[in-house]
Structure formats: structure tokens, C-alpha cells
Amino acid sequence: MPVTRIPPVPPSEITPRQVWLDRRKLIAGMAGAAALPLLPGAAAAKPVIEPLEAQKNPGFVPSDPATEKRLATTYNNFYEFGTGKGDPVRNAGELKVRPWTVEIVGEVAKPRTVGIEDLLKFALEERIYRFRCVEAWSMVIPWVGFEFNKLAALVEPTGRAKFVRFTTALRPEEMSGIRANLPVLDWPYVEGLRIDEAMHPLTLVTLGMYGETLPNQNGAPVRLVVPWKYGYKSAKSIVRIEFLEKQPVSSWTKAAMHEYGFYSNVNPNVDHPRWSQKRERLLPALFASRETEMFNGYADQVASLYAGMDLRANH
Ligand SMILES: Nc1nc2c(c(=O)[nH]1)N[C@H]1C(S)=C(S)[C@@H](COP(=O)(O)O)O[C@H]1N2
Ligand SMILES: [Mo]
């Protein structure tokens, strides 16, 4: 699969001027905050939630209304902060999300480390995506971000890049779930995509939701969103992106290979070994009354990526 090469454009040219100026103010504000003497402990770790302006993309508005923000930010999966749905909102405030850098390395011509300030300079857009957890609940969320392929263009993947691995921060001092040492996952959390999946225009480098920067429990300051796959493919609080020749082993596959395959495409016809995937609870519904759609409703855009593949064997 050839790698799309998009010439890097200075973000000042692709972002509408007012949005760009406002974002510069936001970045300047952050720099200013960092220059103040930091109080120890909780004050230093205060989550950074700021307005995040973005063009609304009308091409991505599902038929169901967006999930209430309060629900999307209090019912989470982020095992680094505990395995209960209410644990991340209680515990993720400990994570220091500034300063933050993402290392982009591996099979690329121009490896580089980008700061969160660099990511905020991309032309951001709001896209409302369906989001389906493997546990058969779902939400509809207005994300703010930009296509992963634009980030890839900066580092110029080589012809040997066949997969991409995403790695989450590993900070036991700030992550109570890791400190608790639960025998669930090996840390750091890693996830992977095939290069054509990563480069697909639906794959979003996500910096915000509901018009604001991401709350820590939702993966601040930068996460991935891959809307046609089960939620666990969308790694949170990313610190490293590697372009690889070989298929990486993701954390969930390592934990239980027959339950969580590499592809993890939403598929109502392939049950999870312990439950059906035919229906889902569109939160806040209490019952799984919504029929799950192939590729989570994005089949017209992504089905061709899997032409000729056995989606049961490659679940
Ligand atoms: N680092 C990390 N990323 C993660 C997870 C996690 O435990 N750790 N959980 C995944 C799962 S199972 C889901 S459903 C989504 C949940 O995202 P949300 O809380 O923003 O809805 O995050 C995914 N990304
Ligand atoms: Mo999930």
C-alpha cells in the first residue's frame, strides 16, 4: 500500500487566521502558566482544560444526537487510572499534561519529536463520530483533531513502514491504576494499526472534545480516535508513535489473544468469546437496543481496506 505523501504546509497557512491567532493566545497562555512558580503536588498537576476552536465538519454528523458531555467525561476506560468506569475521572487529574511531547520514529525519513504546541497548530476540525466499546456500549462524541495522515506527512514514512504503533505514557507516580499493580495489562499501553488504516482519513489525532481540550480521563493531551474499530484501538495520552515493518503486538492482544485481535473492527457478525456483538447500549440507554453496524457504520468508507480478508479469522 503506497504511503500518501502530503507536503508539510506551515500551519499558519492552513488554519483560518482568527482560529490560529486565538490558538497562539492559548499557547502563549500555557507558556505563561508554566513560567509561574509551580506549587508542589496537586496544583502542578491541574488538568489543562481550555476552549479549543475548530471548524465543524458537516460530513461527520451521525443520525443520533451527541452523548451528553457529562456522561462522556465520567464513564471511561483508562486502566492506568483504575478499571472502574468512574476511576479515570477521579484519578486522572494526577497526570501532568504540560509539558508534553510525542516522539515520532521508526521507518521514517525525518524522525522528530513534536510538542503539544506543534500539534495545536494543525488545522483542527470538529467531527462527531460514533464510538463503540468492545464491551457493547457506545456513545456519539464531538472530537476535535486532525487526520493522522497529516502528522505522518511531517516525518515521511519510508516504503518499509507497514504498521504504526502508538504508546501511552508510563508514569506510575501519576497513574494510580499502574501503582495498584492489577494483573490486567502490561504497561505501557500499546496499540497498533496497519499503515493504510492509520493513513485513512477517518483516523483522527485528537486533542479535544466538546469544543475544549481533552479532559485527562479522556486521554489528554493527545489520543487517537479510530471510529470503525472497538474503542481500545484508540490509545490515550500518547508519547510515542513508531512506524514499523512488522505487525506490533498490542496490549489487549497480549492479555487475551483470542478475545482481542489485531484488527478489532466493529463487527456484529463476530461475537466476542464471552458476549454477543450484535447489539449495543447507546448510552445512557440501559438496554442493548441499538443494532451494531458493520464497521460501526463506516463501512462505505473503510470496507475496501479489508477486501478479500476473512474478518472472522482476522478479528
Ligand atoms: N492508554 C489507554 N488508552 C485507552 C484505554 C486504556 O485503558 N488505556 N482504554 C481504551 C478503551 S477500552 C476505550 S473504550 C476508550 C475509551 O475512551 P473514552 O473514555 O474517551 O470514551 O479508550 C481506549 N484507550
Ligand atoms: Mo473499550
User: What ranges do the domains of the chain cover?
Assistant: 11-306
**Looking at ligand 1, which residue's alpha carbon is closest to its atom 11?**
232
pLDDT, residue 11, reads: 38
pLDDT tier for residue 15 given thresholds of 50, 70 and 90: very low
**pLDDT surpassing 70 at residue 20:** no
Name the pTM for this structure.
Answer: 0.87
In contact, 84 and 16? CB cutoff 8 Å: no
- Could you tell me the end-to-end alpha-carbon distance of the chain, in angstroms, rounded to an integer? 21
pLDDT, residue 56, reads: 97
User: pLDDT: is 260 or 40 the higher one?
Assistant: 260
- Pocket probe for ligand 1: among 226, 236, 266, 281, the residue whose CB has the most ligand atoms within 8 Å is 236
How far, in Å, CA of 170 to CA of 1, rounded?
32
Q: Which amino acid is at 271?
A: D
How far, in Å, CA of 144 to CA of 129, rounded?
10
Question: pLDDT tens digit string along 156-198?
Answer: 999 999 999 999 999 999 999 999 988 889 999 999 999 999 9
pLDDT, residue 192, reads: 98
Q: Which of the residue ranges 41-50, 69-78, 172-181, 207-216 would you say has the lowest mean pLDDT?
A: 41-50
Nearest 5°: phi and psi at 75? -120, 90
Question: pLDDT tens digit string along 246-287?
Answer: 999 999 999 988 899 999 999 999 999 999 999 999 999 999
For the segment 80-109, the average pLDDT, to the nearest whole number, is 98
Question: Strand, coil or helix: what is 95?
Answer: coil
Set of cell numbers at residue 69 = 458531555
What is the position in ligand 1's atom list of the atom closest to the CA of 217? Answer: 19
Q: Which CATH superfamily is domain 11-306 in?
A: Oxidoreductase, molybdopterin-binding domain (3.90.420.10)
Ligand 1 centroid to Cα of residue 13, in Å, is 33
